[in-house]
Structure 1
């Protein structure tokens, strides 16, 4: 992808940053701040581990912070990174709207931000927004779900956090496929906020109201694990469950014949790529890439699950 500087900054502003970046470089590689949601979700932990590992490989110090999807905590963490004179910020953000102001604040302080996994609702203030192609991935998952469901039957959808752009994109991708099959009937659609515990509780309640469901399609693997646990507890291991993320937990469930499929988004590599682009920007004032970058997802089933490890797919 060709990088266009004016996509996110006027040339004069970039030039204004270069002295501070060059000064940081002269004093050593500097500090990279890594800000993600809770590491209770292995996806976000993989992001943090991947970013931290690559940053250290490239000679940077790191600080790893967790915002727990709380915009106020995230704002404080940006202030911490600014106060510590970070050379760059890598962030999986706490809200498409709420993150705009902290990213702008960092930019005004001469600190570039590189976003991963989740986009924000403004262009031109983050240097990179590297996200999985959630729509493409959701279509892959939906196609497998339809196949597993034999194109018919009542099903449930568990949605992610409403404030998260990815939740809506994945749901749209699912429905653009599933809704083409008139014999597939969605009998419940609820948000479980990306949470395993909440998904378990929602699934218990839905089962009471809809005991004949045949399938559950989930916005992420954490919710898929919660739904599957509730289904197992109810003796309903016949229900088709499909997730999204590519976690080791879901991989293990697939290999045991539990959850049927997931969609891998390369969290570890995505985080490493953000650090590499931060390093390029610190050195040269540009990344060589466009601001918004999509990484394709991969369908994971029993056939290739054995090659999956920590949100990365090894060569067969």
Structure 2
């Protein structure tokens, strides 16, 4: 009886130890990892800050990282999240194709990913893809641009990073409207890679060959600011400039009478949605919502620019 009792106790202890280890492995950390492009761009900075604030308000720890639109750096950040046994990842990604592997790796590690702002070219591996309706927003921007141009004149288009799906969608939306007006003639179309400095340099070069342009339509506000600076430096501040994002910088420019309009994509709202859905998924195993979710954009001009603050219309 004594030996049997000893064996029973040992088996029981071993079973309890294995059970405890299994439970420990099954428990996720209280960490939400937030990965975005560079915070030099106020849009991405707002996403990161709002996501961080929302996560902390829900009781989570946070780790905020930037991939600077470098897919390799993004992969390293996903590895960090996986090694940290994160509860969830919130990500504005570094490429529609380049991000697929990282999101799949996170899923295989049991870590759900919630994408904001930019989609990836695969479904079923991220839990949510929450993006602004870029096509709808570009239609709004295109309509306003046509109105401001009086349906005629030479214009320039500044396009975002070619690898970014949003760059192509916005350009397509702009042209869906603008190309209906034969009086509007595009004399240059160049990528400035979402960069203000690059937009300034590209605009300076374009103006040398096209000093008689009437308008510039831009794929984002940062490039619009660079274009406006180049136009002002050339004494051409009357040229019509329209952007896309709804940044505070462009708000101030609109109120000052320089840039004429932008399209607000609700970065703050989308970031809040992603964190709240992550919280629900962590707690229940489901968001109760479809993977692909679109949020509508809003035209911003002199009539409502004063109500714009940190990518939210108040």
Evaluate the alpha carbon distance shift between residue 21 and residue 169 of structure 1 in structure 2; reply closer, same or farther with a 3 A threshold.
farther
Structure 1 pair 38/141, CA: closer, same or farther in 2 (3 Å)? same
2: CA distance between counterparts of 1:44 and 1:213?
A: 31
Deviating 4+ runs (over 3 angstroms): 19-22
Contact preservation (8 Å) 1:21, 1:87: no
Partner of 1:37: 37
Which residue in 1 is equivalent to 2:131?
A: 131
Number of the residue aligned with 1:101: 101
How many angstroms apart in 2 are the aligned matches of 1:238 and 1:67?
Answer: 37
1:238 equivalent in structure 2:
238
**Structure 1 residue 194 corresponds to structure 2 residue 201:** no
Could you list the runs of 5+ residues in structure 2 that have no partner in the other structure?
1-22
- Does structure 2 conserve the Cα–Cα contact (< 8 Å) formed by 1:220 and 1:243? yes
Contact 1:250 1:259 (8 Å CA) reproduced? yes
2:250 alignment counterpart: 250
The 5 A counterparts of 1:87-236 are: 87-236=87-236
Q: Is the 8 A contact 1:32 1:87 kept in 2?
A: yes
The Cα shift of 1:23 comes to 2.7
Determine the C-alpha separation between the residues in 2 that align with 1:70 and 1:176: 31
Confirm or deny: 8 A CA contact 1:265 1:297 kept in the other structure. yes
The residue number in structure 1 matching 2:54 is 54
1:240 Cα offset (Å): 0.2
Tell me, in whole angstroms, the C-alpha distance in 2 between the residues paired with 1:104 and 1:196: 33
- The residue number in structure 1 matching 2:4 is none
Per-residue CA distance 1:63-106 (angstroms, 9 max, x = gap)? 00000000000000000000001000000000000000000000
User: Under a length normalisation based on structure 2, what TM-score does the superposition of the two structures give?
Assistant: 0.92
Equivalent runs, 1:274-289 vs 2, <5 Å: 274-289=274-289
Matched residue, 1:74: 74
How many Å separate the matches in 2 of 1:21 and 1:202?
53
Work out the number of aligned pairs and report it: 292
Distance in 2 between the 1:298 and 1:190 partners? 25
Contact conserved, 1:22 with 1:282, CA < 8 A, in 2? no
Asked if residue 23 in structure 1 is aligned to residue 1 in structure 2, the reply is no
When normalised by structure 1's length, the TM-score is 0.91
**Deviations for 1:119-143, whole angstroms, at most 9, x for unmatched residues?**
0000000000000000000000010
Structure 1 residues 182, 283: CA separation in 2 closer, same or farther (over 3 Å shift)? same
Q: Distance in 2 between matches of 1:100 and 1:264?
A: 27
Indicate the SS of the match to 2:193. coil
Q: 1:141-174 CA deviation, whole Å, 9 max, x = no partner? A: 0100000000000000000000000000000000
Deviations 1:215-265 (A, max 9, x none): 000000000000000000000011000000000000000001000000000
Q: Which has the higher contact order (CA 8 A, sep 6+)?
A: 1
Alignment partners' CA distance in 2, 1:88 and 1:20 = 18
Q: Aligned residue for 1:291?
A: 291
Distance, in Å, in 1 between the alignment partners of 2:36 and 2:93 is 7
CA-CA distance at 1:20 after TM superposition? 8.8
Structure 2 residue matching 1:272: 3-state secondary structure: helix
Measure, in 2, the Cα distance between the counterparts of 1:39 and 1:61. Answer: 20
Q: Separation in 2 of the partners of 1:263 and 1:39? A: 20
CA distance in 1, matches of 2:24, 2:153: 60
CA distance in 1, matches of 2:209, 2:288: 53
Structure 1 unaligned regions, length at least 5: 1-18
| Alignment root-mean-square deviation, CA | 1.1
CA distance in 2, matches of 1:234, 1:268: 35
